[in-house]
Chain A
Amino acid sequence: ETGVTQTPRHLVMGMTNKKSLKCEQHLGHNAMYWYKQSAKKPLELMFVYNFKEQTENNSVPSRFSPECPNSSHLFLHLHTLQPEDSALYLCASSQALGVIGGSKETQYFGPGTRLLVL
Chain B
Amino acid sequence: KQEVTQIPAALSVPEGENLVLNCSFTDSAIYNLQWFRQDPGKGLTSLLLIQSSQREQTSGRLNASLDKSSGRSTLYIAASQPGDSATYLCAVKEGSSNTGKLIFGQGTTLQVKP
A residues within 8 Å of B by Cβ? Answer: 4, 6, 31, 33, 40-45, 48, 50, 55-56, 58, 90, 92, 94, 97-98, 102-104, 106-112, 114
Chain A neighbourhood of B97, CB < 8 A:
98, 102-104
Assuming A97-B99, A103-B32, A112-B43, what are 10 further A-B pairs, CB within 8 angstroms?
Answer: A33-B100, A40-B106, A56-B100, A92-B44, A104-B49, A104-B51, A107-B102, A109-B36, A109-B43, A111-B43
| 7 A-B contact pairs sorted by A residue (CB < 8 Å) | A41-B106, A42-B103, A48-B99, A97-B98, A103-B97, A104-B49, A111-B42
Interface of B is mostly: strand
A115 to B75, CA, bound (A): 31
Distance to closest chain B CB from A108 (angstroms): 7
B100–A50 touching, CB < 8 Å = yes
B43–A56 touching, CB < 8 Å = no
Distance to closest chain B CB from A55 (angstroms): 8
Within the complex, which residue of A33, A50, A55, A106 is in contact with B49, where a contact is CB–CB below 8 Å? A106
A40 to B105, CA, bound (A): 11
Decide yes or no whether B76 CB sits under 8 A from chain A: no
A103–B99 touching, CB < 8 Å = yes
Distance to closest chain B CB from A86 (angstroms): 15
